[in-house]
Amino acid sequence: MTATDVLLVEHPSDDIVVLRLNRSQVRNALNLDVRVRLADEVARYGSDTATRCLIITGSDTVFAAGADITEMAEAGPVEVMARNVQQYWRAIMDCPKPVIAAVEGFALGGGLELALCADIIVAGESAKLGLPEVKLGILAGGGGTQKLARLVGKQRAMLLLMTGRMFGAAEALAMGVAAEVAPAGQALPRALELAKEIAAMPPISIAQIKEIVNAGLNAPLETALMLERKAFQLQFATRDQKEGMKAFLEKRKPAYEGK
């Protein structure tokens, strides 16, 4: 690791990994290098059995202020299609481990789209979020239009997308974009608390919860309920299920192995 790394990898504990965007000189603008590194590290730790939770964060003043416009200002449609930057966000969404975004300061455009790839967003109370792409003659193209509409509903999403206006942490919480609001400067410490709580849970159950919730959101209710039922039944093939219920009956804390 060097001071010029666009992404810093931190290990606050053996089972939690923090991926910190590190381009503060350009407000953590998301260039191709950042996207590739982030996708690679998420894939790496997503397949690491020792890792139980990942956190993506920026600095104390900015999560990510958007895509790096210098990379796209003069691009043509074929070039944009060939770059296919959306593939790197897919790697984060497909991570089998829970991902928490700890957001301080600006999370705009691609920065908000990155945060929306996480399973849980913790926003500092002074955070400013938004999808202002329309002001640049384009639209949110990294999942922003579809994810926002699913989270906040068509009417609110249309307003935010068509005006490009920013909204604060309290509004993000009220709309369902953020899961929690922390005091300013405390988004990462709070995300670490949540990560520790989640890391203590049975990993197979956590992975199954993530999978069936995401799949079920885009399926008819009966199909989603079937997915839930099958996942529930399969838990009884795990040692962690036996350990969890035995510990409950014995009134002790369970020790989950992910097996």
Catalytic residues: 67, 110, 113, 133
Q: What does DSSP say about strands 128-130 and 167-168: parallel, antiparallel, or unpaired?
A: antiparallel
The Cα diameter of the chain in Å comes to 66
Question: Of 6, 1, 42, which is closest to residue 24 (Cα–Cα)?
Answer: 6
Residues β-bridged to residue 54? 17, 99
Q: Give the separation between CA 208 and CA 179, rounded to whole angstroms.
A: 20
Residue matched to tokens 């008819």: 220
Question: Of 176, 177, 63, 179, which is closest to residue 127 (Cα–Cα)?
Answer: 63
Residue matched to tokens 């009956």: 249
- Residue 57 backbone phi and psi in degrees, to 5: -145, 175
What tokens appear for 177 in the block? Answer: 């974009």
Q: Give the separation between CA 36 and CA 57, rounded to whole angstroms.
A: 16
Direct distance between the N- and C-terminal alpha carbons of the chain, in angstroms, rounded to an integer: 33
Q: Give the separation between CA 89 and CA 116, rounded to whole angstroms.
A: 10
